Amino acid sequence: MADVDRIPIIKMGEFLLVSIQVDMHDRLAMTLQDDLTASIVRHQARGVLIDISSLEIVDSFIGRMLGNIAAMSRVLDAETVVVGMRPAVAITLVELGMSLPGVRTALTVERAMDMLRAAVGPAVHMGRVDGSQPE
């Protein structure tokens, strides 16, 4: 497996996309957490989509990282959706004692994008949905 020292973060409109494709060592997970938080602020992102469909396990460390990212992004006015958890990973995670409270999940990227768009709503600078201007 390729030895990477950073997980790439892709900006798409007002969202950030992350796809974890490697078996992350703990330091790499911490780096991702820091990089994502910084990127949310730098790009004024409103949503974060984290694809974990390649992950063969989620242990308590990775689970904690996902929870931290969700909590930190919420404090920074962004929503996080975790996408594509494998069924065996979900079973194991719950038996381990983690149910990822506070982390929104979706089975597919399409649904995750829908969730993010719904959570974020129309952009503020476009005015209200009915066309009126805020007082």
Partner 1 sequence: MAVSRSDKLPVASDGDIVAVRQRVRSLAVELGFSLVNQTKIVTAASELARNTVVHGGGGTVEIEVLVDGARRGIRLTFRDHGPGIPDLAAALRDGFTTGGGLGLGLGGARRLCNDFDLQSTPGDGTVVRIVRWR
Binding positions for partner 1, rule: CB under 8 A: 1, 23-27, 56-61, 63-64, 86-89, 91-93, 95-98
Closer CB to partner 1, residue 53 or residue 92? 92
- Please report how close the Cβ of residue 81 comes to partner 1 at its closest, in angstroms: 22
Report, in Å, the least distance between residue 135 CB and partner 1: 46
Report the residue number, 43 or 92, with the smaller CB distance to partner 1: 92
Cβ-proximal residues to 33 (8 Å cutoff; 6+ apart), any chain: 65, 68, 69, 72
Output 44 or 54, the one with its CB closest to partner 1.
Answer: 54
Residue bearing tokens 């020292």: 5
Q: How far is the CB of 38 from partner 1 (least distance, A)?
A: 22
Q: Which two tokens stand for residue 134?
A: 């805020």
- Which of 47/63 has CB closer to partner 1? 63
User: What's the CA dihedral at 69, 124, 118, 78 to 10 degrees?
Assistant: 0
Among 3, 33, 4, which Cα is nearest to 18's? 33
CB of 67 to partner 1, least distance (A): 9
List the Cα angle 102/89/59 in 5-degree steps. 70
